[in-house]
């Protein structure tokens, strides 16, 4: 069993921040890998950051599911199918690259 101290701040444990102790059971292979790859003083921070990142992905996936269907093809033809979405993203990236190139030229 691993005892984990966790906080609410992305990027590591802030000791001034309120924390709680949580007993979490990990599979033995994960404990071995954790011990092998993350030094002892940094394991809580590592697990906290991994948990925060996984929770962020879960929240984003939930938000995407809740937003599904809000763009009707009539109002937003650029989002009507995968091909149009990919073209829209390509154009967006191209515009950003062109802006960056202009800014870089202007700074010289």
The pLDDT of residue 65 is 92
- Looking at the structure, do residues 75 and 62 belong to the same domain, yes or no? no
- Looking at the structure, do residues 60 and 83 belong to the same domain, yes or no? no
pLDDT score of 1 more than 60: no
What are the distances in angstroms from CA 81 to CA 43, 66, 84?
A: 44, 19, 5
- Looking at the structure, do residues 26 and 59 belong to the same domain, yes or no? yes
- Looking at the structure, do residues 94 and 62 belong to the same domain, yes or no? no
For the chain, what is the mean pLDDT? 87
d(CA 63, CA 57): 10
CA 77 to chain centre: 29
The pLDDT of residue 96 is 96
- Looking at the structure, do residues 35 and 75 belong to the same domain, yes or no? no
Total of domains in the chain: 2
- Looking at the structure, do residues 100 and 53 belong to the same domain, yes or no? no
- Looking at the structure, do residues 73 and 104 belong to the same domain, yes or no? yes
The pLDDT of residue 3 is 52
Residue 40 belongs to domain spanning: 1-68
- Looking at the structure, do residues 60 and 75 belong to the same domain, yes or no? no
- Looking at the structure, do residues 40 and 74 belong to the same domain, yes or no? no
Summarize pLDDT for 50-95 with one digit per residue, the tens.
Answer: 999 999 999 999 999 998 888 888 899 998 899 999 999 999 999 9
d(CA 44, CA 31): 12
């Amino acid at each position: 069993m691993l005892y984990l101290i966790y906080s609410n701040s992305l990027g590591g444990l802030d000791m001034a921040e309120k924390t709680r102790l949580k007993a979490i059971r990990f599979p033995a292979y994960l404990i071995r890998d954790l011990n092998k790859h993350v030094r002892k003083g940094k394991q809580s921070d590592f697990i906290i950051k991994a948990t925060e990142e996984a929770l962020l992905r879960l929240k984003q996936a939930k938000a995407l599911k809740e937003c599904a269907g809000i763009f009707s093809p009539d109002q937003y033809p650029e989002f009507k199918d995968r091909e149009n979405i990919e073209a829209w993203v390509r154009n967006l990236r191209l515009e950003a690259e062109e802006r960056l190139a202009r800014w870089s030229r202007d700074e010289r």
